[in-house]
Amino acid sequence: MAGNRIPSLNWLRVFEAAARTESFARAAAQLNISAAAVSQQIKALETHLGSPLFKRHAHAVELTSSGRAFLPSVQHAILSVEQTTEGLFGRSRQETLYVQSVLIFAMGFLAPRLAAFRGAHPDINLHLTTGNSVEDFGRGFTDMQIVFGDPASFGRRGDVLLGERLYPVARPEVAGRIATPEDLLDHPLWEVATHRGGWVHFLEQQKVSPAGADLVFADSTVMSFAATAHGAGIALARAPVSNMLETAFGLHPCLESTAVEGAEHYHLVFPNQVPLRPAARKFRAWLQDQITDR
């Protein structure tokens, strides 16, 4: 490293935006500068540190291991400066809030409500990212995360948000041919690999042996719905968070009034030892209200 001191704090803000979006173009749009300026400042920072922070591809950039390790510290530093500025001089800009969410919850529950959140809290600049696995949620700094399954896997405390109801969905012409739970076994069944409670749980609750099931695996409910909408089999709906997507993909329940309770829940989790920042407390209270009012 050329020195312990970073000559330009603006380099860090540019790096944070590029790392968070994994795009020089999107970072430039957020910072209201050119993509060339982003590239130049990132290159200057890399030269100063003596280590590449990004892998450059034809139409995208990807963090190196050094860049990924550097990102949380940079985000902490930026937030610290913002909080100190607010405390000394009053609010001079929006407060940034970092939230990570499992994809299906973000699309099916948060997305329809985000306009209302922004209207109620114009002082909060929400940065929402999505993932599906534990590994997805270990990247970068975050105030809080919305996860599915055992929150202990994420090493954090939190709130129980929602459970789920499971039932099969398919294209209308396929759904119309399913008269009994046993008929499901005549079709490929899309399973979400990151969910512990899926088709085996559903079929056992229907007194059907899952031994003969043709399970096809996807990494998210969104992907399983997309494949099902194109005639590739039958997916498992996870109400209520999948309701909007079920409609959007034109899928129908295969067996009317046949649903089972899922084995796991969605949780809002946050660091064990660090007090929640004001923006995070507001988001937590808002989300709890949305759960109660749904």
pLDDT tens, 35-56? Answer: 888 899 999 888 888 889 999 8
Q: Please state which CATH class domain 94-159+265-294 belongs to.
A: alpha beta
Report the percentage of the chain scoring pLDDT > 70: 88
For the chain, the structural domain boundaries read 1-91, 94-159+265-294, 165-261
Q: How far is Cα 215 from Cα 72, in angstroms, rounded to an integer? A: 38
C-beta contacts of 171-177 below 8 A and 24+ residues apart: 171/228, 171/229, 171/231, 171/250, 171/251, 171/252, 172/250, 172/252, 174/231, 174/234, 174/254, 175/251, 175/252, 175/253, 175/254, 176/252
pLDDT the model gives residue 136 = 64
User: Do the Cβ atoms of 203 and 209 come closer than 8 Å?
Assistant: yes
Domain pair 1-91 / 94-159+265-294, same fold: no
Kindly report the pTM of this predicted structure.
Answer: 0.68
- Of 1.10.10.10, 1.25.40.340, 3.30.565.10, 1.10.150.130, which CATH number belongs to 1-91? 1.10.10.10
Q: How far is Cα 294 from Cα 234, in angstroms, rounded to an integer? A: 27
Q: Read off the tokens for 138.
A: 């270990």
The reply to whether omega before 122 is within 30° of 0 (cis) is no
**CATH number of this structure's domain 165-261:** 3.40.190.10
Sheet holding 95-102, edge to edge: 124-131, 95-102, 144-148, 266-270, 157-162
What value does the CA radius of gyration of the chain take, rounded to a whole number of Å?
A: 22
Q: How far is Cα 10 from Cα 98, in angstroms, rounded to an integer? A: 20
Q: What is the per-residue pLDDT across 214-233, written as a single tens digit (0 to 9) for each?
A: 999 998 899 999 999 999 99
Mean pLDDT of 258-280: 82
User: Do the Cβ atoms of 277 and 148 come closer than 8 Å?
Assistant: no
Assign 92 a pLDDT band (cuts: 50, 70, 90): very low
Q: How far is Cα 173 from Cα 61, in angstroms, rounded to an integer? A: 43
Count of CB atoms within 10 A of residue 139's CB?
16
Q: Read off the tokens for 174.
A: 């396929």
234-267 burial code (b ≥16 CB/10 A, e <16): bbbbbbebbeebbeebebbbbbeebbbebeeebb
Residue 247 has pLDDT above 90, yes or no: yes
- Identify the residue whose tokens are 């944070």: 16
pLDDT the model gives residue 1 = 44
Task: Output the average pLDDT for the chain.
Answer: 84
Residue 84 has pLDDT above 80, yes or no: no
**Helix boundaries (H) for the chain:** 9-21, 24-31, 35-49, 65-89, 103-105, 114-120, 172-175, 199-205, 221-229, 243-248, 278-293
User: Do the Cβ atoms of 235 and 225 come closer than 8 Å?
Assistant: yes
